[in-house]
Amino acid sequence: MSASPMEAPLLEAPLLEASDLALRYGAVPALDGVSLAIWPGEVVAIVGESGSGKTTLLRVLSGLLPPDAGSVLYRDPEGRAQRLEAMGEAALRRLHRTDWGFVHQNPRDGLRLGVSAGGNIGERLMATGARHYGSIREAAIAWLRRVEIDPARIDALPRTFSGGMQQRLQIARTLVTHPRLIFMDEPTGGLDVSVQARLLDLIRALVADLGLAVLLVTHDIAAARLLAHRILVMRHGKVVEEGLTDRVLDDPQHAYTQLLVASVLAA
Ligand SMILES: Nc1ncnc2c1ncn2[C@@H]1O[C@H](COP(=O)(O)OP(=O)(O)OP(=O)(O)O)[C@@H](O)[C@H]1O
């Protein structure tokens, strides 16, 4: 069904909107009144030191963890707004298979290491209904090329790949179904600096080519500067500062952001 002119403005609305999220682990407030919105095609980085609540926020925004309070609203491709908390588990799983992608810090969490590289990409396509073996294999080859993995490795097991290759394969597996919104949790964490730089370049090119919206959790300010349009700074479960990337990093207003930026400059 095509959108009528009456509905068109909805497409200009945020893709995901969270309001007043709260979550405690015992006495620890992991999230404390967090609100945010991400727009189609926008890359938003969530930065902050270890324990500030970044991963918890990403898990709540992607429906993997229910908050104690607050809500998350997602707009589907037809412009319909849906509350994650009211969505059944099956609908949420479908979102994760189709419209959304999740890139984990550890490729082991996002890949099946005992399944071939091509199988890892192909099975995600099959989960969205693809059945034709030839075209699934063709898509897998195209995606291996796109993430700079030699297609001759299509039948190799990812456990024989380097960390950087595994991460690139995880990205191919995530993007093959053309999701609109990608959640990334420290995608370059644990990799050597030169491998990180190559991966960041690849992510930047793919995100721009495909017009993806990305929620990126990172403690790497340089990665946030390279990839993000906007930055949210978290501390003790709260967003203490947010704004356009250059503004936040070049002219930080909150004392904690100033400290975070200064510690990178000093490193
Ligand atoms: N499953 C859990 N049980 C108890 N406390 C938890 C749990 N998960 C996280 N926390 C606590 O909640 C707070 C926020 O943790 P979270 O992992 O979201 O932070 P983070 O900013 O992602 O940190 P890191 O960069 O180290 O991953 C921390 O104080 C952490 O110790």
The pTM score is 0.91
pLDDT in tens, 74-92: 998 888 899 999 998 999 9
Are 264 and 222 spatial neighbours (Cβ–Cβ below 8 Å)? yes
* Arithmetic mean of pLDDT over the chain: 91
> Which atom belonging to ligand 1 lies closest to the Cα atom of 55?
22
CA of 32 to the centre of ligand 1 (A): 13
> Which atom belonging to ligand 1 lies closest to the Cα atom of 219?
25
Residues near 258 by Cβ (< 8 Å), separated by ≥ 6? 252
Question: Which pLDDT belongs to residue 9?
Answer: 42
**How do the domains of the chain map onto residue ranges?**
16-111+178-266
Residues near 226 by Cβ (< 8 Å), separated by ≥ 6? 200, 204
CA of 246 to the centre of ligand 1 (A): 28
CA of 237 to the centre of ligand 1 (A): 9
Q: How far apart are CA 143 and CA 187, in angstroms?
A: 18
CA of 153 to the centre of ligand 1 (A): 37
CATH for 16-111+178-266, options being 3.40.50.300, 3.40.30.10, 3.30.70.1450, 3.30.450.260: 3.40.50.300
ipTM tops the 0.90 cut: yes
Residue type, 33: G
CA of 154 to the centre of ligand 1 (A): 37
> Which of 23, 24, 55 gets mutated to test ligand 1 (max ligand atoms within 8 A of its CB)?
55
Residues with CB under 6 Å of ligand 1 are 25, 28, 30, 48, 50-56, 219
Question: Which pLDDT belongs to residue 2?
Answer: 40
Residues near 168 by Cβ (< 8 Å), separated by ≥ 6? 147, 148, 149, 199, 202
Report the chain (267 residues): mean pLDDT per 10 consecutive residues. 41 89 95 96 94 95 95 92 92 92 94 95 88 90 96 96 95 95 93 90 93 94 94 96 96 93 77
Question: Which pLDDT belongs to residue 203?
Answer: 94
Whose CA is closest to 127, among 154, 93, 156, 151?
93
